[in-house]
Structures are given as C-alpha cells and as structure tokens.
Amino acid sequence: MKIAIFDSGIGGLSVFNAVKKSFPQLEIVFRNDQKNMPYGDKTKNELLLLVKPFFDQFQAENFDIVIIACNTVSTTILSELREQYKFTIIPVIPMIREASLITKNKTIAICATPTTLKSSKYSVLKFKYGQNLNILEPDCREWATMIQKKQINEMKIKQTIEDILNKKCDVVVLACTHYHWIENDIKKICFNKASVIQPEEKIIAKLKQLL
C-alpha cells in the first residue's frame, strides 16, 4: 500500500507526521509545491496547472491513496482530480459540520485562505451545516506565508483570535494545514473560551476505514 500526502508547503508535513505515527508500517511519502506556494490566493485554473504534474507522477508511480493536505485544493478542484485519476483521493475540507456539533454559542470561526472561502464547496458546507450558525471568517491570508517562512507575527495572530473570541466564538476551525503548526499557540489564546479543531484525526480515521 503506497500513500502520498500532498500540499503546497510545509502544512502537509504536519499531516504526514500524524499519519506516519499512526501507520508506521505503510509506505508514505510527502511531496509539496513550495516553489509556487501560497496556493490560497490562486484561481481554479492556476491550481489545476500546478497540481496536475504532481498527480501525474503519483499515478505513474502507482500510488494507491493520495491525501490532499490542502483545504484550498480540496475545496476548489477535487472533482476535476477525481475524474482524471484512478487512485483514491482523501481531501481535507473545513470542519463546519464538526464545529456545528460542539458549539454552544452557535458562533464559530473558519480560519482559511481566501480561495477556500470563495469556493463552491465551502458555500455548500455553509448551507448544509451552518444555516443556524454565526460563521466568522477572520482575515488569515498572511498566515500560511509567515508560517512557511518561519516569520510568525504572534501579535497579529493574537489580535485576530482575540477579535473572534470577543464576538462569542467558541469553536475555531483550522481550515488550512499550515495553521496546524501554530495550533498550540492558538489553543493558549483560546484557553477556556473556545475549542480549536483540525482534521488530522479525521484523516487517520478515514485511512483506517479504507485499510
């Protein structure tokens, strides 16, 4: 069983580490497109042009499963990729459903890239699971780049999170895998005020089901 994990940058490495820890016996590789990151401001056509060479290679190397550890790609071009490639694709998508099940204030925040927030898939998720929720969409457009370059502006992140907490948000959804690297920092800011969720456990559960 060969598994590939793909992302634009180091965000997917967090997913790779979690999956490798759960499945040490499997052949798992991580590949990313650091040359063209961030993906979060790119169009659908641009994403297809960038992602296709990697997926062509996955198919040529006979991978069984490819995990798209990128919410932007998963919410924008997933259907096109599934039409073109025969291997199983596991996407990551904003966890609005999961947040809707645990929020008490009915106010959640989706920390995501601009392209994810503009995608049709995201709109579907909001309509399906978020009609009775107040969904905040803080401006996180700089986060992936600052995390990738290890130039994290802690004050800016703190201000963003405190702003949504002041609006009674009690669930923060990390809908970009780059943000997994600052998950503990966000949890400290949210301490006793909001839960912070991300999809690594969900990916592992899906893999267990497939295997």
Specify whether the CB–CB gap between 196 and 183 falls below 8 A: yes
| Average of per-residue pLDDT values in the chain | 95
pLDDT digits over 92-129, tens only? 999 999 999 999 999 999 999 999 999 999 999 999 99
The one-letter amino acid at 146: M
Q: Which pLDDT score is estimated for 47?
A: 96
Q: Which pLDDT score is estimated for 1?
A: 87
Model confidence band, residue 80 (pLDDT cutoffs 50, 70, 90) = very high
The answer to whether residue 164 scores a pLDDT higher than 90 is yes
Question: Percent of the chain, pLDDT > 70?
Answer: 100
Other residues' Cβ atoms within 10 Å of the Cβ of residue 143 = 26
Instruction: Say which of 111, 140, 169, 176 is annotated catalytic.
Output: 176
DSSP H stretches of helix in 61-153: 71-76, 78-84, 96-102, 114-118, 120-129, 143-148
Model confidence band, residue 172 (pLDDT cutoffs 50, 70, 90) = very high
Model confidence band, residue 37 (pLDDT cutoffs 50, 70, 90) = confident
Closest CA to 2 of 20, 23, 21, 27: 27
Average pLDDT over residues 141-149: 90
Other residues' Cβ atoms within 10 Å of the Cβ of residue 88 = 15
Average pLDDT over residues 187-200: 96
Dmax over Cα atoms in the chain, in whole Å? 50
- Cα–Cα distance list, 87 to 1, 72, 90, 131 (Å): 11, 20, 10, 34
Instruction: Say which of 70, 140, 169, 190 is annotated catalytic.
Output: 70
Q: Is the peptide bond before 38 cis (omega within 30 degrees of 0)?
A: yes
Is 111 an active-site residue?
no
Average pLDDT over residues 83-92: 96
The answer to whether residue 51 scores a pLDDT higher than 90 is yes
Closest CA to 176 of 145, 208, 131, 207: 145
3-state class (DSSP) for residue 174: strand
Q: How is 31-64 classified by DSSP, letter by letter?
A: EE-GGG---TT--HHHHHHHHHHHHHHHHHTT-S
Is 70 an active-site residue?
yes
The answer to whether residue 54 scores a pLDDT higher than 90 is yes
Model confidence band, residue 149 (pLDDT cutoffs 50, 70, 90) = confident
- Cα–Cα distance list, 161 to 134, 177, 190 (Å): 16, 17, 8
Domains of the chain: 2-92+200-210 (3.40.50.1860), 96-197 (3.40.50.1860)
Q: Which pLDDT score is estimated for 26?
A: 93
The answer to whether residue 211 scores a pLDDT higher than 90 is no
Other residues' Cβ atoms within 10 Å of the Cβ of residue 81 = 21
Q: Which pLDDT score is estimated for 152?
A: 87
DSSP 191: T
